[in-house]
Chains A and B, each alone.
Chain A
Amino acid sequence: MENSRRDFLKIAGISALAVAGAEPVLNAFASEHGEEASKAAGFQKEEKALTAKQWAMVIDTRKFKSAKDLEPIIEVCHKIHNVPDFSKENKRHIIKWIWEEEYKHAFPGDASGFTDERIEHLPFLVLCNHCEEPPCVRACPTKATFKREDGIVLMDFHRCIGCRFCMAACPYGSRSFNFRDPRPFIEERNPQFPTRMKGVVEKCNFCAERLAAGQVPACVEASKGAIAFGDLYDPESEVRKLLKSNYTIRRKAGLGTGPTIYYIV
């Protein structure tokens, strides 16, 4: 809060250069101790915002039977986040935040020739793992990819220079690059969420915009209970309860990236 107000005074100062008649307002800003001033010109979280130390997901793959079950989940994410569809245009430019993979691709090191039939043909949902030690964040030269205080690995599209170092660094192929202006390829856009511009990288944002409004991620909501979402460091959270009572696996856990998407198989 302290910081915010100082930042704000900077703006007020800039404006004051051009504005002669704004003294009363500025005085209100400047009185650091006044009750009114602390109310004025501040920044807050939304009251209903959901918070955590490290958000995590548990995907119960037993509840999915076929690729059909995954479709609405993928669709809702891509739709509300204005993810363009290049599948009909040029496959090279494809962008995806969440998609399905076979077991042997989602867990390439673990597959054997003798996997049980259900697993072998089961479609797995894959998305950004919001790693606890994210290599993409380490690689990014501008902090355009950064780890937020609630554990979400987020993209700042305003800052991204499009060097794609993060894409080389991510061991899960979770990131996509806007090889061209995505807007013409968004069939029906969600006007309340921004699109992206060409030349920046994007990926799943763990629905940061919904968490701020007190909603769980859209894919969780659309999964009809197959995906749980919660704080990894809150022993009472839903994900922790599931982790306690089920055997779970993570993608390439051996790399030490600390993926926070857990799979019950």
Chain B
Amino acid sequence: MLELALKGSKKYYGWVAVLLGGISVGFAVYLWQLNFGLGLTGMHRDVSWGFYIAQFTFLVGVAAGGVMVVLPYYLHHYKAFGKITILGEFLAISAITMCLLFIIVDLGQPMRALNVILHPTPKSILFWDMIVLNGYLFLNIIIGWQVLEAERNAVAPPKWLKPFIYLSIPWAVGIHTVTAYLYCGLPGRGFWLTAILAPRFLSSAFAAGPALLILLCLIIRKMTKFDPGKEQIQSLAKIVTYAIIINVFFLLCEVFVVFYSRIPEHMDHLTYLFYGLQGHSALVPWMWTSMSLMGIAIILLLIPSVRANESLLAICCVLVFCGTWIDKGLGMISGGFVPNPLHQVNEYAPTIPELAITLGVYATGFFVLTVLFKIAVTVKEEAAA
């Protein structure tokens, strides 16, 4: 089926060229980073994980979010989603690709990455994260490809695929849970040391993933002859609405515990993020923006007529996506490292090379996404014709 990705319109090729350009720039800067070291980034002794790991965390969520179309279809036999499960699976593949790339670009010695397998250490959560992420990638490649191939040949997907599909559903929850465990099991990092971290991650994932999927559906409808369907989009919108509300609720639970108990080690991180600490407040405007975006999105999404209007819905999805991105892609990692364990404030801001590499990874992910969606949509168009 891969050949389907080769035949496309001028616009398609233009977009692919833009992505390839982004990839080349990112790759060139990465070679520079490889040569110089991670000193090219804004990270330092105190904030030792930065933009890369934050994007990784956010994208694990996007990947897990894909399950929100798979689950209703296979477990609740919600037939409408049958049309778009493939989009959820392919979105997961590209998101996981980006996750793995972000891990690689964040390593100080990427050539030794295989040491994680050569010296397996089950006590380390990173070991498990590697297993669940690669497993999820593998599951989605198998499932997505088989289902699409079957659709193309107008036959039912092979029987042996069923167990894999059922496995992929808890697995999606697993990838984001394990990713949260990376952070929330560390003593002395009060911001992450909370049992609600994994649920928070999941709720924001189930908001951001489907929100992105809605946007992609709308784009596909505009650009191609395949219509993902009005009902499908409306159902996704409800999922986004529930998830973003739960996400904000979980956040408020955290805020209550932290500010009512007033234990400095837990409170100071949130204080830093929302009010600034010891005169440092780089993230304050971002965090309030994030809160407002999510708040406005909730209010709008709760109004049925707004949700039913697809242009307004699209705006809401952008708000949700940006709100959760700031929350996780900016605040979640820096917030945990500031103040440092000695209660000193050393802020972090990404550098330009760091952003270029990040863009390169995103371009790679969107390239994979474009190619996969192109194939999926062409198959759907052929089937309809």
Contacts and interface: CB of A to CB of B under 8 A. Distances in A.
A and B touch in the complex (CB under 8 A): yes
Given A139-B125, A139-B126, A168-B49, A161 B116 contact: yes
Interface stretch (B13-21, B107-115, B196-204, B219-227): B107-115
A139 B45 CA distance: 17
A121 interface: no
Interface stretch (B75-83, B208-216, B239-247, B339-347): B339-347
- Interface range for B: 35 or more
Interface in B91-133: 103, 106-110, 112-113, 115-116, 118-119, 121, 123-127, 130
Interface in B134-189: 182-183, 186-189
- Interface range for A: 35 or more
B43 A179 contact: yes
Given A170-B341, A180-B39, A252 B45 contact: no
Contacts of A162: 38, 107-109, 112
A90 interface: yes
Given A161-B109, A161-B116, A173-B45, A141 B341 contact: no
A138 B127 CA distance: 11
B187 A92 contact: no
Contacts of A252: 188, 341
Interface of A is mostly: loop
B48 A167 contact: yes
A108 B126 contact: no
Nearest to B339: A108
A241 interface: no
A19 interface: no
Contacts of B41: 179
A168 B119 contact: no
A181 interface: yes
A93 B49 CA distance: 14
A142 B115 contact: yes
A67 to B, nearest CB: 16
Contact of A257 (B106, B113, B118, B187): B187
Contact of A141 (B43, B49, B130): B130
A128 to B, nearest CB: 13
B36 interface: yes
Most chain-B CB neighbours within 10 Å: which of A141, A162, A252?
A: A141
B265 interface: yes
A264 to B, nearest CB: 20
A90 B45 CA distance: 12
Interface string A184-224: 00000000000000111100000000000000000000000
Given A138-B124, A171-B341, A177 B108 contact: yes
A103 B265 CA distance: 16
B125 A199 contact: no
A142 B126 CA distance: 9
A92 B48 CA distance: 10
Contacts of A159: 112, 115, 119
Contacts of A139: 124-126, 186
Given A140-B121, A143-B119, A200-B109, A108 B186 contact: no
A171 B188 CA distance: 5
B130 to A, nearest CB: 7
Nearest to A163: B107
Contact of A199 (B38, B44, B126): B38
Contacts of A141: 115-116, 121, 124, 126-127, 130
A11 interface: no
A101 B342 contact: yes
Interface in B349-378: none
A163 B187 contact: no
Contacts of A165: 124, 126, 182
A163 B126 contact: yes
Nearest to A90: B39
A144 interface: yes
Contacts of A201: 108
Nearest to A157: B109
A200 B37 CA distance: 10
A200 B115 CA distance: 13
19 contacts: A93-B39, A109-B265, A138-B123, A141-B127, A142-B118, A142-B121, A143-B121, A144-B115, A160-B112, A161-B115, A162-B108, A163-B103, A168-B49, A168-B186, A178-B108, A180-B36, A181-B37, A198-B108, A199-B107
Interface of A: 90-95, 101, 104-106, 108-109, 126, 135, 138-144, 159-165, 167-173, 176-181, 198-201, 252, 255-257
Q: Which 4 A-B pairs have the closest CB atoms?
A: A162-B108, A171-B188, A199-B108, A179-B39
Given A159-B112, A177-B108, 13 more contacts: A92-B39, A94-B45, A101-B342, A135-B188, A139-B125, A140-B121, A161-B110, A162-B109, A171-B189, A178-B37, A179-B43, A180-B36, A180-B39
